[in-house]
Amino acid sequence: MSVRVGILGATGAVGQRFIQLLDDHPTFELAAVTASASSVGKPYREAAKWRVDTAIPDDVADMEVRATDPEAIADANVDLLFSSLPSGVATEVEPAFLQEGYVVSSNSSNDRMAPDVPLTIPEINPEHLGLIDVQRDERGWDGALVKNPNCSTITMVPTLAALDSFGLESVHVSTLQAVSGAGYSGVTSMEIIDNAIPHIGGEEEKMETESRKLLGAFDGAGIELHDADVVASCNRIPTLDGHLENVFAALSEDPSPAEVRAAMRDLPSADLHSSPDQLIKVFDDENPDRPQPRLDRTYAGGMGVVAGGVQTTYEGVAYNCLAHNTIRGAAGASVLNGELLVKEGYV
Amino acid sequence: MSVRVGILGATGAVGQRFIQLLDDHPTFELAAVTASASSVGKPYREAAKWRVDTAIPDDVADMEVRATDPEAIADANVDLLFSSLPSGVATEVEPAFLQEGYVVSSNSSNDRMAPDVPLTIPEINPEHLGLIDVQRDERGWDGALVKNPNCSTITMVPTLAALDSFGLESVHVSTLQAVSGAGYSGVTSMEIIDNAIPHIGGEEEKMETESRKLLGAFDGAGIELHDADVVASCNRIPTLDGHLENVFAALSEDPSPAEVRAAMRDLPSADLHSSPDQLIKVFDDENPDRPQPRLDRTYAGGMGVVAGGVQTTYEGVAYNCLAHNTIRGAAGASVLNGELLVKEGYV
Amino acid sequence: MSVRVGILGATGAVGQRFIQLLDDHPTFELAAVTASASSVGKPYREAAKWRVDTAIPDDVADMEVRATDPEAIADANVDLLFSSLPSGVATEVEPAFLQEGYVVSSNSSNDRMAPDVPLTIPEINPEHLGLIDVQRDERGWDGALVKNPNCSTITMVPTLAALDSFGLESVHVSTLQAVSGAGYSGVTSMEIIDNAIPHIGGEEEKMETESRKLLGAFDGAGIELHDADVVASCNRIPTLDGHLENVFAALSEDPSPAEVRAAMRDLPSADLHSSPDQLIKVFDDENPDRPQPRLDRTYAGGMGVVAGGVQTTYEGVAYNCLAHNTIRGAAGASVLNGELLVKEGYV
Amino acid sequence: MSVRVGILGATGAVGQRFIQLLDDHPTFELAAVTASASSVGKPYREAAKWRVDTAIPDDVADMEVRATDPEAIADANVDLLFSSLPSGVATEVEPAFLQEGYVVSSNSSNDRMAPDVPLTIPEINPEHLGLIDVQRDERGWDGALVKNPNCSTITMVPTLAALDSFGLESVHVSTLQAVSGAGYSGVTSMEIIDNAIPHIGGEEEKMETESRKLLGAFDGAGIELHDADVVASCNRIPTLDGHLENVFAALSEDPSPAEVRAAMRDLPSADLHSSPDQLIKVFDDENPDRPQPRLDRTYAGGMGVVAGGVQTTYEGVAYNCLAHNTIRGAAGASVLNGELLVKEGYV
């Protein structure tokens, strides 16, 4: 079975990752790419300044860039849209596609906390997809909007889900985030060489709120947020890709490091093409200096999470985790949500 | 008044910082430098591979390097010794100098947690120097050994001391540490370019134990450790100098960010040459991205602490702090302790 | 004697360096700062995002930013203007000030190769200032426009001037240039971390043409370009400040490395406040790995040139040289030209 | 046909690359690995600190490390040895294997300029292998020793070979070399962050001599060095992998940039497994900022050369070239020479 897909905002950094990940995808066939007005009508190879480390697929290189509105893609017969629009643009444009009945798997940060929008990681909370029915009722559209979380959130939440069996009570987390998380021009070299920046605008709040939604319970009408307090401090450091995070979790139970590692390793995978066989790779005590961004960010093609350094503390555990921020943390997350939407019959 | 001083282990990275800081010091006059066997007898300029960013002082350049034993420095008439020996060497060698009656202000990590050895930051716990009398009784020597804490500890503890008035209950801290903290050859370029390492051997334990001793109470016979739990995760990142730390503190009281900032700013300075007029510089909300290592590590000539990003959390506060790890965190800390020893009459 | 000066384009990276260098200048008193329309009327502290490593001087912080036109600065009674405008803006705006009789020492790249505009390094070709009379005749203004060369040119030319006594015939040069040369946002972190870029638009041509003008002879009516061929390859690398250059020079004579080093060291200084006592510091054979950007860029407060690695080749010599690109290579160069203009009576 | 091979010095950085490249090689079957005394007898996985970005092949992980002498590998029935020993060790040890009749393809730098030792790049000078007969006569051994050039030499020589049809007269070259070229611990982070080092001991001489041998003519008895003068300046910069080089070549003819690019692209490949279909990829004028280390070092699996920025100069051409220093510049070069030895019947 083949599903025809389109990418809204296909020329940017995340858009390029979409194209890379969709190349040779067994189910998805890329049929339309959109971008802003200055690119419309150009072949993709001219419109995009391609910077991904594999070549532009030949068929995409010649594809004509369309405008980002439903009419412009009407003849492409697309069943599923991936969105990597800037959130300001997405707020205005995504509803138009949803009104036309499109299913949209979006990486844009708008509406992630909207009560009727599922925010999903397929291995963690696939049942939240049920919110789509609520959404259709409330919004009165035939389409379906699904969001994936922010890159720093998605790195941590699978490990928290594993801990939840031990009674997760609260979380403190410090992040060491790669510059690619801010987009190609987001961090200048003069800002970050021989330096670190202990603040990323809005990031801390995203981690604190999105985590509780992802770990929350769907009761058929809405999501009850998980009641764990989450406190985040976010830092930018001079790495290219891969967000590393130090997590301190308070637990009601008292598991050993070995039990924590086992819980992380045993987290079930999703039966989807882009989901790794083992979602979380966990380093033991003999490798206390792992995960490291450059060595571990490509685990499972960048779709896995890597953890390590598990220690018990006076109130629970401390450990480190890492994921590739532009694959598992952005385009790959949306593609995986797209696979879930197909599997669950929404496409 | 001039005090003749010597440096044990003068050719290494911290030894060079000692020489830089002692140049033009108003009280201390450098009279002897020691190093390992291969350097003994050479002029300092030949023995040291000088890498500090100011030139070798002329008089030091021509000074003959001595062996690191009491006999070899006997004719130098030194009243105070600074030690930057590797801890393994220091464990063996420092006692010999103490037996001979020398006062030693040491940056080496051995014996920091010994019950009769004062571990001091002059602005924070100068009264701990009273332990010297206990030490002399127990060890039967006329000398005096004072230690300064580890570089990552010293960055955080002044801010915790400021918080203690609000009832400090527990601390979680993540560090983003500069490569110079591992010595000149401690971190290879292949390890750290485009990378971060979430583990520094022994560092976490040092932060957890030293902090509680520094904040503890001296009762005339010993130090009662502060009862706050401290949990640390330590990371190495690609910066040259300056340790940045994310601190999460649980407090029994409920201060506002403004009250926390005021408490930090109002921490009293020590009346000593190398102590800044204001120990902790604090950035307000309009600069949430400060402190940053490259921009803030030279505050007060590298002897100050810089804090910022103060936020309230469900259990207390979160904030960031930074200090220059090889000045305030190493050589400068020992020099400052030396100044305290002189002021208090131990030299 | 005090000279009242203004800065055209005072809020950018070079503008900030001007303010830093003019603070405590013995002759120049800063009386006016201009910037683009969005900054006009604001106090400087609000208009500029200050990023230099020293604090904004208090008096400048409160100075009101003026528009960049002669009328807006008329009441400031300024005798000399420094310009760090973008070259497109400078092309339009500088003539207006010159028509009004202002003397302008400009770092902007426009008009550097104009036949009647002196391009000067005070230690190298101060006599080129005589072109001002030609310029006034041709342009019909009372003002005077002097330019300093591009940062990569100025790094190399003092060493070439020293070599000229040995019959300079041709030059090949490769540059390793710091990111600050492109301005604060000129090079993104994603472009340059773990990378190098072997192209800087327009830079190679600037080095090839400006060098020949700087080394050329002034015959009272114009500059005869030096006849040495100059071929440059320019690279951007991940350093913050300091351009390092590998120079290969063909010579008609056959000097030894020691003679070349002596010629560089003996190059006369200019008798001006900002000119170093020794313009070129030269490392001998025992330090073949110098100059290095981080270790040597602050020689003489960033106003010096540092050379080393002198070797003879089949056709002449090879060596390396380095200068601080935003001090000697930009703002400092203009200030020094301003000092020359005062000394020579043009102000 | 399968050839059993061994690696002398298998645990180091280049040794690990050999193992990575030999995994799944269609002809070579790894049968023995040797290392220094402290590793002998251990399984490889314990003896090596594995740092390559792919996992250790399972069969190699369990292989027992042998001593580096002929007796210790006698029962492995190896037909071909790859050597990545330190040159000091190789000088002593390689002859023992050659006396025993082994064919050795060596990356070690000793003996590269010996008159009877072929120094080969299979695409450039395969006929130099004829020196083996001279070598056997002179040395009186049945074995055969072949060397590949230094990593910085091998990056440039294919492009020079393409230029030779235009009458190559002299070469000036500046290198921007990655830290991996110095081995895992060769460059400390404190040396290179925010810095560059304009000297690599011995590297310049290697480029100057090896290039002339590689481009020289084999007359049946020896190699007549190419008569082009080669002058090199070598720099270390903060990149992980990939040496970038600026080349200035004087030519007797006057080709256009297009002709130079065509000559580079048309250089014949070798009909060998590890030789790329197109040895030199060449960027046109529309990409003047390429090649770049991070974007281009993996061309052809790291076995290709990438060139660009071709410009004419007063005496010939200037251009940039790049290759992966630990693949094409080290282990991959030796493997390719091994394939040539098999093809030519020496194994």
- The CATH code of the domain that includes C141 is 3.40.50.720
**Which residues are within 8 A (CB) of B167 and not within 5 positions of it... i.e. 6 or more apart?**
B251, B252, B253
Beta bridge partners of A3: A28
Contact B239 A318 (CB under 8 A): no
The helix/strand/coil state of D169 is strand
Residues 223-262 of D with CB under 8 A from B: 238-240
pLDDT at B54: 84
Cα maximum dimension of chain D: 61
Q: Are C186 and C179 in contact (CB under 8 A)?
A: yes
pLDDT confidence of residue B52: 83
Neighbours of D2 (CB within 10 A): 11
Catalytic member of D128, D226, D234, D243: D243
What's the pLDDT at C297?
96
Three-state SS annotation for D182-228: HCCCCCEHHHHCCCCECCCCCHHHHHHHHHHHHCCEECCCCEECCCC
Distance set, CA D346 to CA A88, D77, D80, D213 (Å): 67, 16, 10, 22
What's the Rg (C-alpha) of chain D?
20
**Smallest CA–CA distance from A182 into chain C, residue:** C190
Q: Give A53's contacts in chain D (Cβ within 8 Å).
A: 295, 298
Write the pLDDT tens digit of every residue in D224-278.
999 999 999 999 999 999 999 999 999 999 999 999 999 999 999 999 999 999 9
Task: Please tell me the predicted confidence (pLDDT) of residue C53.
Answer: 78
* C237: nearest CA partner in chain D: D237
A181 and A305 together in one domain: yes
Answer for the pair C95, C20: CB distance below 8 angstroms, yes or no. Answer: no
Q: Which of C188, C191, C200, C236 to mutate to test the interface with A (most CBs of A within 10 A)?
A: C188
pTM, two decimal places: 0.96
Whether B162 has a pLDDT exceeding 90, the answer reads yes
Give residue D54's pLDDT.
Answer: 84
CA atoms within a 13 Å half-sphere pointing along the CA-CB vector of A339: 20
Q: For C129, how many CA atoms within 13 A lie in the half-sphere containing its CB?
A: 22
Tell me, yes or no, if C321 is annotated catalytic. Answer: no
pLDDT at res. B24: 87
Kindly report the nearest CA distance between residue A148 and chain C, in angstroms.
Answer: 24
Q: Are the beta carbons of C233 and D244 separated by less than 8 Å? A: no
- Structural contact between residues C43 and C65, judged by C-beta atoms closer than 8 angstroms: yes
Q: What is the pLDDT of residue D50?
A: 87
C130 and C197 share a domain?
no
Contacts 24+ apart (CB under 8 A), B20-25: B20/B52, B20/B54, B20/B331, B21/B274, B21/B327, B21/B331, B21/B332, B21/B335, B22/B335, B23/B54, B23/B57, B23/B60, B25/B273, B25/B335
Say if residue A291 is preceded by a cis peptide, omega within 30 of 0.
yes
Q: Where are the alpha helices (DSSP H) in chain D?
A: 13-22, 44-47, 58-61, 87-99, 131-139, 151-163, 189-192, 203-214, 257-265, 293-296, 332-343
First to last CA, chain A: 12
Give the mean pLDDT of B5-12.
96
> D162 falls in which pLDDT band (50, 70, 90)?
very high
A-facing residues of B in 168-187 (CB < 8 A) are 170, 172, 174, 176
Query: Is beta strand C305-312 parallel, antiparallel or unpaired with respect to C103-106?
Result: unpaired
Q: In the prediction, which pLDDT does C36 show? A: 95
Nearest residue in C to D291, CA atom:
C198
Q: B191 contacts in D (CB within 8 Å)?
A: 189
pLDDT value for A54: 84
Confirm whether B243 is a catalytic residue.
Answer: yes
Any residues with CB less than 8 A from the CB of A55 and at least 6 apart, and which? none
Contact partners for chain B, using 3 or more CB pairs closer than 8 A, are: A, C, D
Query: For residues B50 and B24, is the Cβ–Cβ distance under 8 A?
Result: no
The pLDDT score that the predictor gives to residue B1 is 75
Exposed/middle/buried for residue C1 (C-beta within 10 Å: 0-12, 13-18, 19+): exposed
Judge if B290 and B307 occupy the same domain: yes
Chain D residues touching C284 at Cβ < 8 A: none
**Beta-bridge partners for D175:** D234, D245
Which one, of D177, D150, D164, D322, lies nearest residue D249 by Cα?
A: D164
Task: Output the six-digit token pair for D99.
Answer: 């006396």
Question: What are residue B130's phi and psi, to 5 degrees?
Answer: -60, -20
Q: How far is B327 from chain D (nearest CA, A)?
A: 16
C-alpha count within 13 angstroms, C-beta hemisphere, residue D116? 12
Look at residues A56, A15, A62 and name the one whose alpha carbon lies nearest to residue A34: A15
Pick the catalytic residue from C128, C226, C234, C243.
C243
Average pLDDT, chain C: 96
Determine, for residues D191 and B189 on separate chains, whether the beta-carbon distance falls below 8 Å: yes
Rounded CA separation D188/D193 (Å): 9
Instruction: Specify the residue for token string 């100057």.
Output: D208
Residue of A nearest to B285 (CA): A199
Residue type, C275: S
Q: Kindly state whether residues D143 and D163 are assigned to the same domain.
A: no
CB B150 within 8 A of CB B326: no
- Report the distance separating Cα D35 and Cα D10, nearest Å: 6
Task: Tell me how far apart the alpha carbons of residues D42 and B154 are, in angstroms, rounded to a whole number.
Answer: 43
Tell me how far apart the alpha carbons of residues C247 and C153 are, in angstroms, rounded to a whole number: 12
Pairwise CA distance, residues B23 & C67, whole Å: 47
Q: Tell me what pLDDT residue C308 has.
A: 98
User: Helices B332-343 and B13-22 sit at what angle, rounded to 10 degrees?
Assistant: 50
Answer yes or no: do C196 and D293 touch at CB < 8 A. Answer: yes
Q: Tens of pLDDT along D13-51? A: 899 999 999 998 999 999 999 999 999 999 999 999 888
Phi, psi of B294 (to 5 degrees): -70, -30
Strands A229-236 and D65-67: unpaired
Q: Do D180 and B188 touch (CB under 8 A)?
A: no
Residue A190, chain C, CB below 8 Å: the answer is yes
Q: Kindly name the residue from A151, A234, A321, A324 that is annotated as catalytic.
A: A151
Q: How far apart are CA A255 and CA B17, in angstroms?
A: 45
Q: A198: which chain B residues are within 8 Å (Cβ-Cβ)?
A: 244, 246, 289-292, 308-309, 320
pLDDT at B322: 98
B87: buried, middle or exposed (CB in 10 Å: 19+, 13-18, 0-12)? middle
CB contact under 8 A, A289 and B198: yes
- Whether the per-residue pLDDT at D306 is higher than 90: the answer is yes
Inter-CA distances, A115 with A34, A118, A338, Å? 28, 8, 20
Q: Does residue A251 sit in the same domain as residue A307?
A: yes
Please count the structural domains in chain C: 2
Question: In terms of CA atoms, which chain B residue is nearest residue D182?
Answer: B190
C164: domain CATH number?
3.30.360.10
Yes or no: say if D240 and D143 are a contact pair by the CB < 8 Å rule. Answer: no
User: Looking at the structure, do residues A111 and A155 belong to the same domain, yes or no?
Assistant: no
Alpha helix positions (H), chain A? 13-22, 44-47, 58-61, 87-99, 131-139, 151-163, 189-192, 203-214, 257-265, 293-296, 332-343
Domain that holds residue A203: 151-324
| CB proximity under 8 Å: A 64-93 to B | none
* pLDDT for A344: 96
- On whether both A171 and A44 belong to a single domain, the answer is no
Contact A304, A280 (CB under 8 A): yes
> Does the pLDDT at position D1 exceed 80?
no
Gap from B179 CA to chain A (nearest CA, Å): 10
* Distance (Å, whole) CA C64 – CA C70: 16
Does D20 share its domain with D103?
Answer: yes
The yes-or-no verdict on residue C177 having pLDDT over 90 is yes
Q: Which of B128, B226, B234, B243 is catalytic?
A: B243
Is the pLDDT confidence value at D92 over 80? Answer: yes
Stated length of chain C:
347
Regarding whether C303 and C227 lie in a shared domain, the answer is: yes
Tell me, yes or no, whether D134 and D203 share the same domain.
Answer: no
C66, C15 contact by CB (below 8 A): no
Please, what is the end-to-end C-alpha distance for chain C in angstroms? 12
Query: C298 vs B193: CB contact, 8 Å cut-off?
Result: no
Cα C108 from chain centroid (whole Å): 10
D289 interaction partners in chain C (CB closer than 8 Å):
197-199
The parts of chain A modelled with pLDDT lower than 50 are: none
What is the average pLDDT value for chain D, to the nearest integer? 96
Start-to-end CA distance of chain B, whole Å, equals 12
Same domain, C99 and C184: no
Band of residue D52 on the pLDDT scale cut at 50, 70, 90: confident
Nearest Cα of chain D lies from the Cα of A289 at a distance, in angstroms, of: 13
Closest alpha carbon to A235 in A198, A203, A187: A198
Asked if C114 contacts C108 with a C-beta cutoff of 8 angstroms, the reply is no
Report the amino acid identity of residue C35.
A
Which chains contact C through at least 3 pairs of Cβ atoms less than 8 Å apart? Answer: A, B, D
Q: Which of B53, B194, B295 sits opposite C193 (nearest CB)?
A: B194
- In this predicted structure, the answer to whether residue D209 has a pLDDT above a threshold of 80 is yes
Of D180, D185, D189, the CB nearest to B192: D189
CB contacts < 8 A, A to B, total: 114
Q: Are A38 and A64 a contacting pair, CB within 8 Å? A: no
Residue A58's pLDDT is what? 93
pLDDT at B191 (0 to 100): 96
Radius of gyration of chain C, Cα coordinates, nearest whole angstrom: 20
pLDDT given for residue B55 in this prediction: 86
C95 lies in the same domain as C181: no
Annotated catalytic residue within D151, D234, D321, D324: D151
Tell me how far apart the alpha carbons of residues D122 and D337 are, in angstroms, rounded to a whole number: 6
Query: In chain C, pLDDT over 90 holds for what percent of residues?
Result: 95
Cβ contact D187–B188 (<8 Å): yes
| CB nearest to A194's CB, from D51, D53, D194 | D194
Amino acid at A115: P
Q: What is the 3-state secondary structure (H, E, C) of B258-285?
A: HHHHHHHHCCCCCCCCCCCCCCEEECCC
Beta bridge partner(s), residue D280: D305
Contact D280, D158 (CB under 8 A): yes
For range C59-64, the mean pLDDT? 96
Cis peptide before B291 (omega within 30 of 0): yes
Nearest to B192 by CA among D15, A289, D54: A289
The tokens for B173 are 């801290």
For residue A49, give the chain D residue with the closest CA. D287
Note whether B310 and B317 are within 8 A (CB). Answer: yes
